[in-house]
Amino acid sequence: MRQFALVGLPNTGKSSLFNRLTGLSQRVGNWPGLTVELAHARLLLGNQMVELTDLPGIHDLSGYTDDEAVVRDVLGARDFNALVLVLNAAQLDRQLPLAIQLTATGLPCLIVLNMADEAELLGIDIDAAALSHRLGAPLVLVSTRSGQGWAELQKALATLARQAGTPQRARLAGLPDTHEAVEQAEALLAGVWRLPPTLPKRLSHRLDQVLMHPWLGLAAFAAIMAALFNGTYLIGGPLQEMLGNALQGMREAWLAPLATHLPSWLASLLLDGLWQGVSTVATFAPIIFVFFVLMALIEDSGYLARAAYLTDALMARLGLDGRGFVLQLMGFGCNVPAVMGTRVLRERRQRLLSMLIIPFSLCSARLQVVLFFSAALFSPRHAPWVLAAFYAVSLAAAMLTAWLFKRRLCASEAYLLEVPPYRLPSARHVLTRAWGEVAAFLRLASTFIVAGVVLVWLLTRLPAGGYGSVADAIGHVLSPLLDPIGIPEPLAVVLLFGFVAKEILLGSLAVVYGVSDGQLTTALAAQLDWVSAMSFLLFTLIYVPCLSTVAAIRRESKSARFTLLSVGWSLLLAWLVSFVFFQLASRL
Amino acid sequence: MTLDRLRAGTRGIVTRLDLDDDTLRRVAAFGLRPGQTVHLARRAAFGGPLMLEVGTTQFLLRGSLARHIEVDQRA
């Protein structure tokens, strides 16, 4: 099988091109010897099977960013038959240097000039045949979005596959450096690629008059974020509930009757442990799908860069960039996709810092717990203020964390972000991407999350002498830690369940108090004073949001140490905040 | 004058970049090189980033970096 690598600059529509070529046949997998995941797919070009690997977008093959190192590592570690290079036809003045570097690797190259339709609208004059001749490589003009030039691209790819010789390693030593590549590119473009003397004013400029306006822009930003947020909720929420009900129904109608023949411990392990865990995780799928559809719309339309422009002044002070703000906001819906979405930040340290603060966003699952407690313990007049206070605590925890860790995880790269013209996102690309994210998340569930759920089941069911279960024993052992923050010992088990998912926290609280869900309000008011309840709630808000978030952090950071740091820091901060609150409030 | 002091809506020609090698590469990838004309399209509030245009490429650059880039102002 032939091996092709897809290379290009960010924002050239490289991934859309990959999606359009490969559809749902693509797989995301770990690259042997590297800690990166790369999408790859097999496709039939002419009569040749080709494996196409999508490499991260880069600006410069001799650069030092994380992505540039990855591309060099991959090209230096494996034999390829050819490279397919995607460039924006309207920006060849700054993009052609990459083509100079790649053709110098000695691998056959196909140059794909994408966004040919935009270049045409701008009045850019491209002599494709002459440019191809000067580069010594075949070249096609396409528009992934409109499909313009698609047949020519297919034909060029088939020719490349047919003519490919034995696969070879890229020559990376002695490549032209940035400066040389830029000079060669300038000479190559002279006379064959011409910008008009004045560029026509585009619709994007007029839209930006409003969307990037100092205060109109902020108002529009708030409105767009509110729409995005509510969209995730209004569409994803009911889907999540429907799926949850369906899985619960399956359990009652089919699995429970089947399990009656099993020993009761095994039936409980399968139903309360495994099935409960799998269902809890599966109900995240609709939220993740909806979130990534909306996120892809924001990103592909070009709005994300505008949002970054508007919020960067604030985020820069926290050691983050403006795109992190959007993810932080989305975390208020659900932390899991927000953590997965940090991939839009290309620098690893920025991504880690974002991942560290997103779990403090008061997500919808924790919101239910806060709403329930504040309704149970406070008058309707005070309850909204309690809720507002919890949002404030959530933001403060995130900002404190960013401030504390920004020195260690501060971006070392210069912050430069392209602001692409507004584009109509393609439905095919948006859906393919959202589906890919859901599939990746569900693969996680098969190991990490199910293991965690079964572990918690074991802890709460295995007997431990006089203490009841192992979990009760843990609660007893932890009591020196729980007493100073006013959390009664039996609630330690509830916090353990809350570690799996905050959705099951209230249910397990009802079990601890031996009441039905409906009687929980009265039981809470009778059993807990408000200071202990608030301390418990603060702890619940700040400590690990759920096992799925931990799994997402593990997946995105690819570091067990960082995942432990994230879990450990949130537990420590939760304890400290609860401690300060409880000690102060109980002395009032 | 330095790039961060250019008035919004005006152009300048890059004359000098006082940047380390790595950063120089990053900004060169967006077309910021000596001799290039750069248009400061707009400037975000509260000391936020600058939106620049070089050729057909628009991008954001923080003031902290723009301070190290010298330009000659044009009409």
pLDDT, average across residues A339-350: 85
Backbone angles phi, psi at A180, to 5 degrees: -65, -45
Most confident of A82-96, A377-391, A410-424: A82-96
Look at B54 and A94 and tell me if their CB atoms are within 8 Å.
Answer: yes
Q: Which two tokens stand for residue A500?
A: 């799996």
Does residue A347 lie within any of the structural domains? yes
Restricting to A residues 296-335, those with a Cβ less than 8 Å away from any Cβ of B are 305, 308-310, 312-314, 316, 322
Within this chain, do residues A531 and A545 fall inside the same structural domain, yes or no?
yes
**In DSSP terms, which residues pair with A7 in a beta bridge?**
A85
Cβ B72 vs Cβ B6: under 8 Å? no
Range of the domain at A358: 216-364+382-419+427-440
CB pairs under 8 A between A and B: 105
d(CA A457, CA A460) in angstroms, rounded, equals 5
Measure CB to CB from residue A416 to each of B27, B55, B56 and give the nearest one.
Answer: B27
Residue spans of alpha helices (H) in A51-115: 66-77, 92-103
Domains of chain B (ranges, CATH numbers): 3-74 (2.30.30.90)
d(CA A97, CA A104) in angstroms, rounded, equals 11
Within this chain, do residues A404 and A509 fall inside the same structural domain, yes or no?
no
d(CA A182, CA A94) in angstroms, rounded, equals 8
Q: What is residue A33's predicted lDDT score, i.e. its pLDDT? A: 58
Q: Does B6 touch chain A (CB under 8 A)?
A: no
pLDDT of A581 over the 90 cut: yes
d(CA B73, CA B5) in angstroms, rounded, equals 10
Query: Dmax over Cα atoms in chain B, in whole Å?
Result: 31
Residue spans of alpha helices (H) in A197-321: 203-211, 216-231, 237-250, 256-259, 264-268, 276-282, 284-300, 303-317
Cβ A360 vs Cβ A401: under 8 Å? yes
pLDDT, average across residues A362-391: 86
Within this chain, do residues A235 and A302 fall inside the same structural domain, yes or no?
yes
Q: What angle do CA A401, A405, A406 make, to 5 degrees?
A: 110
Does residue A395 lie within any of the structural domains? yes
Within this chain, do residues A294 and A262 fall inside the same structural domain, yes or no?
yes
pLDDT of A277 over the 80 cut: no
Does residue A208 lie within any of the structural domains? no
Q: How far is B74 from chain A (nearest CA, A)?
A: 16
Tally of domains in chain A: 3
Within this chain, do residues A81 and A56 fall inside the same structural domain, yes or no?
yes
Within this chain, do residues A310 and A448 fall inside the same structural domain, yes or no?
no
Q: Does B28 touch chain A (CB under 8 A)?
A: yes
d(CA A58, CA A74) in angstroms, rounded, equals 13
d(CA A130, CA A188) in angstroms, rounded, equals 10
Within this chain, do residues A152 and A221 fall inside the same structural domain, yes or no?
no
pTM: 0.84
Q: What is residue A441's predicted lDDT score, i.e. its pLDDT? A: 79
Q: Name the band, by pLDDT with cuts 50, 70 and 90, for residue A412.
A: low
Contact residues on chain B for A9, CB-CB shorter than 8 A? 29
d(CA A548, CA A555) in angstroms, rounded, equals 10
Residue that is last in its domain, among A143, A165, A200: A200
Tell me if residue A64 falls in helix, strand or coil. coil
The number of angstroms, rounded, from the C-alpha of A235 to the middle of its chain's C-alpha atoms is 19
pLDDT, average across residues A89-109: 95
Q: What is residue A415's predicted lDDT score, i.e. its pLDDT? A: 83
Among A71, A62, A118, smallest CA distance to A92 is for: A118
Within this chain, do residues A581 and A509 fall inside the same structural domain, yes or no?
yes
Q: Which two tokens stand for residue A588?
A: 């009032």
Instruction: Determine what percent of chain A is predicted with pLDDT higher than 70.
Output: 97
Task: Give the CB-side neighbour count of residue A434, counting CA atoms within 13 A.
Answer: 25
d(CA A335, CA A140) in angstroms, rounded, equals 42
Q: Does B37 touch chain A (CB under 8 A)?
A: no
Beta strand spans in chain B (E) = 11-17, 37-43, 50-54, 57-61, 69-74
Mutate to test the interface with B, among A67, A72, A88, A94 (most CBs of B within 10 A): A94
Does residue A501 lie within any of the structural domains? yes
Within this chain, do residues A435 and A464 fall inside the same structural domain, yes or no?
no
- Find out whether A8 is annotated in a ligand binding site: yes
Mutate to test the interface with A, among B11, B23, B26, B69 (most CBs of A within 10 A): B26
Among B57, B44, B65, B37, smallest CA distance to A322 is for: B44
Task: Give the CB-side neighbour count of residue B47, counting CA atoms within 13 A.
Answer: 7
Q: Which two tokens stand for residue A141?
A: 């003009």
pLDDT, average across residues A342-368: 89
- Residue of chain A whose Cα is closest to the Cα of B61: A416
Measure CB to CB from residue B59 to each of A124, A182, A417 and give the nearest one.
Answer: A417
**In DSSP terms, which residues pair with A88 in a beta bridge?**
A114
Q: Which two tokens stand for residue A576?
A: 């400290």
Report pLDDT digits (tens) over A392-411: 999 999 999 999 998 887 76
Alpha-carbon Rg for chain A, nearest whole angstrom, is 27
Does residue A373 lie within any of the structural domains? no
Residue A180 neighbours by CB distance under 10 Å? 15
Q: Does A67 touch chain B (CB under 8 A)?
A: no
Q: How far apart, in Å, are the Cα atoms of A223 and each of A12, A217, A551?
A: 28, 10, 32
Within this chain, do residues A262 and A344 fall inside the same structural domain, yes or no?
yes
Among A395, A440, A431, smallest CA distance to A548 is for: A440
Within this chain, do residues A38 and A59 fall inside the same structural domain, yes or no?
yes
pLDDT, average across residues A157-162: 95
ipTM over 0.85: yes
Q: How far is B52 from chain A (nearest CA, A)?
A: 9
d(CA A325, CA A314) in angstroms, rounded, equals 9
- Residue of chain A whose Cα is closest to the Cα of B56: A91
Cβ neighbours of residue A289 under 8 Å, at least 6 residues apart? Answer: A236, A434, A435, A437, A438
Q: What is residue A360's predicted lDDT score, i.e. its pLDDT? A: 96
Element containing residue A125 per DSSP (H, E) = strand A125-126
Q: What is the CATH number of the domain that holds A188?
A: 3.40.50.300
Q: Which two tokens stand for residue A286?
A: 């609709």
Within this chain, do residues A18 and A157 fall inside the same structural domain, yes or no?
yes
Does residue A211 lie within any of the structural domains? no
Per DSSP, A90 falls in state G
Report pLDDT digits (tens) over A40-90: 999 999 889 999 999 999 999 988 888 898 899 999 989 999 999 999 999
